[in-house]
Amino acid sequence: MRRARVNIRRPFKRNLVDQNLILIVCEGEKTEPYYFRSLVKHWRIRPATVRIIGEECGSSPINVVDFAVEQKNGNLKKVKKGESAKFDEIWCVFDHEGVYKHQSFDQALDKAQSNDLKVAFSVPCFEFWYMLHYKYSTSKFECADSMISAFKKEAGLKKYSKSGVPFDALIDKLPFAFNNATQLRQDYENRSEGIKTRWPYTEVDLLVKVLKAYDK
């Protein structure tokens, strides 16, 4: 008697090696995650390509870097087991608002460098990146609140919500912001000012350009 053929289907396994993964660990719980998720959506980047964390890592530069290192080590363990692709880039996003002039800020930069993590910090706050969409500025704002007030004035905003940034207006001005951020860095380099003494300052544009490369 002829046996019936049994069709045994092997479980499908994704090709994890060919995937490109970016991890973005943010100090802020609302502003930064909202902005980067808006970019991912606008440029139609596969959500699985970019992982954005903003609620689990604490509220100081060193907390952000420590958390990113933990994520990196955990990812490497999964890679060895074939459960995940390796993070191609890990970015730490945090601010340098005066209070972080102490060891936490310096320690965060040093630890990020020693662990091959990339940093996109802003002085005095992330909103300075927004400001550069409207004007070039070297004003040394006293604190984050004064920076946000200046941004609201330039953008013509009566109200400002950290989870409701006028993204459509910002994306249209992105080339202008890129030019301003690049010019700002060049001006500091011409004055031979060290990375830890630049005020105001931002490197958020460097991370945005990485994401823009995935624009479909």
Q: Write out pLDDT tens, residues 98-128.
A: 544 546 888 999 999 999 999 999 999 999 9
DSSP secondary structure letter of residue 135: -
- Prediction pTM value: 0.86
Q: Read off the tokens for 200.
A: 């105001």
Percent of the chain with pLDDT over 70: 87
Task: State the maximum Cα–Cα separation within the chain, in Å, rounded to a whole number.
Answer: 90
C-alpha span between 71 and 112 (Å, rounded): 13
pLDDT at 189 > cutoff 70? yes
State the virtual CA torsion across 7, 11, 12, 17 in degrees, nearest 10: -140
CA end-to-end span of the chain, whole Å?
58
Q: Read off the tokens for 106.
A: 């310096």
Regarding beta strands 87-95 and 50-53, do their DSSP bridges make them parallel or antiparallel, or are they unpaired? unpaired
CATH class of 21-212: alpha beta
Q: What is the pLDDT of residues 26-75, one digit of tens each?
A: 987 888 999 999 999 999 999 889 999 988 777 789 999 999 999 999 99
C-alpha span between 132 and 61 (Å, rounded): 23
Q: What is the pLDDT of residues 160-182, one digit of tens each?
A: 877 677 888 899 999 999 999 99
Calculate mean pLDDT across residues 193-207.
86
pLDDT at 132 > cutoff 90? yes
